Amino acid sequence: MIPKAYRSILLLALLVLALASGFLSLNFGSIPIAPSEIFSIFLGPLNTHIGFHEPSPEHTTIVLQLRFPRILLALLGGGSLALAGAILQGLFRNPLADPALIGVSSGGAVGAGLVLLMASSARLAPTLWDNPYTLMLAAMTGSILSTYLVYQLSKTGGRIHVPTMLLCGIAVNAFGGALVGVMLFSADLDTLREITFWGMGSFSRAPHTAVFTATPLFLVLMVLLLRQSQALNVLLLGNAEALHLGYDPHPIHRRLILLCGALVGLSVALCGSIAFVGLVVPHLVRLLVGPNHRFLLPASFLVGAILMVMVDLLAANLLEHANIPIGILTAFVGAPFFLYLLLGARRKEIV
Amino acid sequence: MIEAKGITFSAGSRKLIKAVTFKLQPGKFYGLLGPNGAGKSTLLRILNGEIQPDKGSVFFDERKLTDWSLTALAKIRSALPQRTELSFDYTVEEVVALGRSPFNDSQNESTQGPEAIQASLESFHLEKLRNRSYLNLSGGEQQRVQLARVFTQIWRPKGDPTSRFLLLDEPTAGLDLAHQQQLLERLQESARQGTTVIAALHDPNQVAAHADSLLVLAEGKLVADGKVEEILNNTLLKRYFGVETETLRTAKNGKAFSFRAPSPPPSQR
């Protein structure tokens, strides 16, 4: 763990690193674009005063409509999953919690899958279904509903019973999986492909306009969640202890679940399901800055964002003519890493 | 002043607390005795507002517990539950600092907070452990950290007249002899400064040596309530705990109890 005094410096360094990695990865791709040209593209009409070379129109389109939205989504989506993971781990007082674990992600997947299916088959109002906003709304609704369902089922006498909640999460996940299965079963080949690929996660499938519209929503949810850090710190002590310290755990639980559900749903709608970010990133960050949520939450967001930009860079450039689905890469790297963490922790306990 | 009026509480069909009524005066240290399962923890949890009684009410300074705002109450009342399970890697100082959470919005917290934390760390001998991980401490050390957190919460500069309350469930659990002794002296001192203290304890000798008054619970009923000097005696210990004792006189004219050979426990209830 790094000393307390350096935590703020670390946060600043991570922020710079996130912005820098985002900017750098704008340069890469099948057509390399020089940093100075990217500057001039973003400066737009201001550029004439500064005197960079005039950017070519194709490059402007590539940067503004393809790369920038993709990287923005990698930053926001990856950061959100890591943030939600950190919060859920605090909420359940269990360092192994993950948005996928309690059904948040699968609820979103059901909502989104339903919209994708309707888009391919509905005769009524086709533009309504074949629409990124409907997808966003449906995934958010699905996430919030499934979280709320799990929350209600595991509440006894006004309190959340955590083991029940984890088990309910498993049940909701299984049920969500079955619903997605039914959709896949009844879908035509194109939709099958669409739902499958969407499920594997990608930052480049969402249209750029949807990414830009979602950005303020991401930021608002993030800020609201970051403001809960002191409440989360107190909750780590336990429900009774939180109450004694003036924090009523019940409404805090409700607020956190609603906000996390919305954030994860939004990210699922735009990027599909990306596993292990919400689990591994907060874990790593906790080793670095400790469990204090005032540092843990922003640091998790930033590390998640940096990591996803890197993974996205790999996914977009590893194969010449195809984007590898992000979820595949994160699972390949995340699963062994998670086992390593788990076994490492166990060995430490034995010693 | 804490007042309980006709408190009744049941879990399922079992009545855990039966029509309990008492008053706790400010500046007094109350020992709460009772055999296992008598309802001590339940009673303390009702006083803390963790659980609502089926009947009856609790009053803090003549105001109903349910009418207090949680934050206002948290600034003057702190509580130690029987066990706190913490599975995250906080440092000792961070855990103690959480005790100041109710004061986040207070004006002079930037000076008072660190002072309160420092004072509590010192009084529970935790200065050397302050940067250690809570999870690597022994059970007794963890208990001292939790106690320091609880004391930090209602710490005030000397001479502050605000009335305060301290409710502790088995605070001596896991502590070595020296730290038990120091804790009890610390509780006496808090009471002398005006805090109302109630602590569930198991050792009648500790109650006799340190507490001002005594509440005895048996099967959910308040069976004795009064000054330690007047009500704590061989008969009471025999009747509710099934132990044979002999009363000794200490040098300072206090009482101490010497236990005789064990007798069979009271009829299993």
Query: Which residues from A are below 8 Å from B74, CB to CB?
Result: 244-246
Report residue B261's pLDDT band, with 50, 70 and 90 as the boundaries: low
CA of A196 to nearest chain B CA: how many angstroms apart?
37
Edge-to-edge strand list for the sheet holding B213-218:
B77-80, B165-169, B196-200, B29-33, B213-218, B221-227
- Ordered by start, the domain boundaries in chain A are 4-350
Point out the residue among B74, B88, B89 whose CB comes nearest to the CB of A244: B74
- Judge: B98–A234 Cβ closer than 8 Å, yes or no: yes
- pLDDT, position A307: 94
Kindly state the average pLDDT of the residues A284-306.
93
E strands along chain A, which residues?
A: 155-156, 159-160
- pLDDT, position B12: 86
Nearest CA in chain A to B135: A349
- Judge: A246–B101 Cβ closer than 8 Å, yes or no: yes
- pLDDT, position B250: 83
Strands B29-33 and B213-218, how do they pair?
parallel
CA of A144 to nearest chain B CA: how many angstroms apart?
27
Query: Which residues from B are below 8 Å from A238, CB to CB?
Result: 81, 84-86
- Judge: A240–B86 Cβ closer than 8 Å, yes or no: no
- pLDDT, position A350: 44
- pLDDT, position B102: 94
Q: Write the CB contacts of A201 (distance below 8 Å, at least 6 apart in sequence).
A: A271, A272, A273, A274, A275, A325, A326, A327, A328, A330
Say how far apart CA B11 and CA B17 lie, in whole Å. Answer: 10
- pLDDT, position A351: 38
CATH for the A4-350 domain, from 1.10.940.10, 3.10.180.10, 1.10.3470.10, 1.10.10.10: 1.10.3470.10
- Ordered by start, the domain boundaries in chain B are 84-161
- pLDDT, position A130: 75
Tell how far CA A47 is from the center of its chain. Answer: 34
- Judge: B153–A245 Cβ closer than 8 Å, yes or no: yes
Say how far apart CA B55 and CA B4 lie, in whole Å. Answer: 11
Say how far apart CA B133 and CA B118 lie, in whole Å. Answer: 17
Six token digits for residue A304: 């998640």
Q: pLDDT at residue B268 above 70?
A: no
Task: Please name the helix (run of DSSP H) or strand (run of DSSP E) that holds residue B116, with its range, or none.
Answer: helix B109-123
Q: Give the pLDDT confidence of A95-114 residue by residue, as tens digits.
A: 767 777 778 888 888 888 88
Kindly state the average pLDDT of the residues A82-105.
82
Report residue A199's pLDDT band, with 50, 70 and 90 as the boundaries: confident
User: Is B94 touching A (CB cutoff 8 A)?
Assistant: yes
- Judge: A238–B84 Cβ closer than 8 Å, yes or no: yes
Query: Which residues from B are below 8 Å from A245, CB to CB?
Result: 74, 98-99, 101-102, 153
Point out the residue among B49, B81, B104 whose CB comes nearest to the CB of A241: B81
Kindly state the average pLDDT of the residues A9-31.
90
Kindly state the average pLDDT of the residues B72-80.
95
- The interface predicted TM-score (ipTM) is 0.91
CB pairs under 8 A between A and B: 71
Number of neighbouring beta carbons within 10 Å of residue A8 = 11
Residue with the larger pLDDT of the pair A81 and A42: A81
Q: pTM for the complete prediction?
A: 0.88
Residue with the larger pLDDT of the pair B180 and A181: B180
- pLDDT, position A95: 73
Kindly state the average pLDDT of the residues B209-228.
95
CA of B230 to nearest chain A CA: how many angstroms apart?
33
- pLDDT, position A187: 83
User: Is B171 touching A (CB cutoff 8 A)?
Assistant: no
- pLDDT, position A157: 60
Query: Which residues from A are below 8 Å from B91, CB to CB?
Result: 290
Query: Which residues from B are below 8 Å from A286, CB to CB?
Result: 88-89
Point out the residue among B70, B95, B98 whose CB comes nearest to the CB of A248: B70
- pLDDT, position A7: 85
- Asked if residues A337 and A283 have their Cβ atoms less than 8 Å apart, the reply is no
Tell how far CA A48 is from the center of its chain. Answer: 38
Mutate: best of B88, B153, B154, partner A, most A CBs <10 A: B88
Q: Give the pLDDT confidence of A251-263 residue by residue, as tens digits.
A: 998 899 889 989 9
Say how far apart CA B71 and CA B153 lie, in whole Å. Answer: 11
Q: Give the pLDDT confidence of B133-188 residue by residue, as tens digits.
A: 999 999 999 999 999 999 999 999 888 888 999 999 999 999 999 999 999 999 99
% of chain A exceeding 70 in pLDDT? 93
Point out the residue among A94, A240, A291 whose CB comes nearest to the CB of B50: A240
User: Is B77 touching A (CB cutoff 8 A)?
Assistant: yes
Residue with the larger pLDDT of the pair A152 and B27: B27
CA of A279 to nearest chain B CA: how many angstroms apart?
15
Report residue A162's pLDDT band, with 50, 70 and 90 as the boundaries: low
Say how far apart CA A136 and CA A211 lie, in whole Å. Answer: 10
Nearest CA in chain B to A250: B50
- pLDDT, position B263: 57
Q: Give the pLDDT confidence of A109-159 residue by residue, as tens digits.
A: 888 888 888 887 766 777 777 777 888 889 889 988 888 888 788 777 656
Q: Report in angstroms the alpha-carbon separations of B150 from A129, B98, B167, B191, B195.
A: 56, 9, 9, 15, 13
Q: Give the pLDDT confidence of B82-109 residue by residue, as tens digits.
A: 988 888 889 999 999 999 999 988 888 8
Residue with the larger pLDDT of the pair B207 and A64: B207
